[in-house]
Amino acid sequence: MEGICTSRAMRIVGHLDMDAFFAAIEQRDDPRLCGLPIVVGADPRGGKGRGVVSTANYKAREFGIHSALPISRAWRLSESARKQGNPPVTFLPVRMERYAEVSAHIMETLRRFVFLVEQASIDEAYFDLSSCESYTLAEEVCRKIKHAIQEEERLTASVGIGPNKLIAKIAPACTSPMA
């Protein structure tokens, strides 16, 4: 049949997702923030702010704060958690130029290991591992990618693999930090 791929080669797709990317960069760049709940997004203006949470680290997520949550709601959740004896949430503005700079470094690192990379967002990418010819070898490449990012950027990433983008993206859900 003309136009139909008949190759029997196994397709292996990888998906890289940086863990709480914006918040992780803020903590890395300012070690005083380590261990504290962090929200990056719009100015909460004492609970009257407009806009949304861009990201929340895992400590802030324990209070129900997550990406795309209205910032005023995030403020209320943070205040509720604080009144229960938890540390106050640190709200930080988005520093997109900084995140883009770090993202570019991460994508360069990824391209040292694989040739075909499709950047899906500032902190996500799909990549082709089909040349590995086995999932065992693909997993080893992924471990090396994660290790290189950790060593070079001091940031963590979740990586999944599968026969297509969907499976690769949902695969790390069970291995992500705090999953």
Residues forming the active site:
124
- Dihedral angle at the C-alpha atoms of 47, 98, 30, 123, nearest 10 degrees? 80
Q: Which of 48, 49, 52, 56 is nearest to 90 (CA)?
A: 56
Helix or strand (DSSP H, E) at 14? strand 13-18
Q: Which residue has the tokens 């471990």?
A: 143
Phi and psi at 165, nearest 5°, equal -60, -40
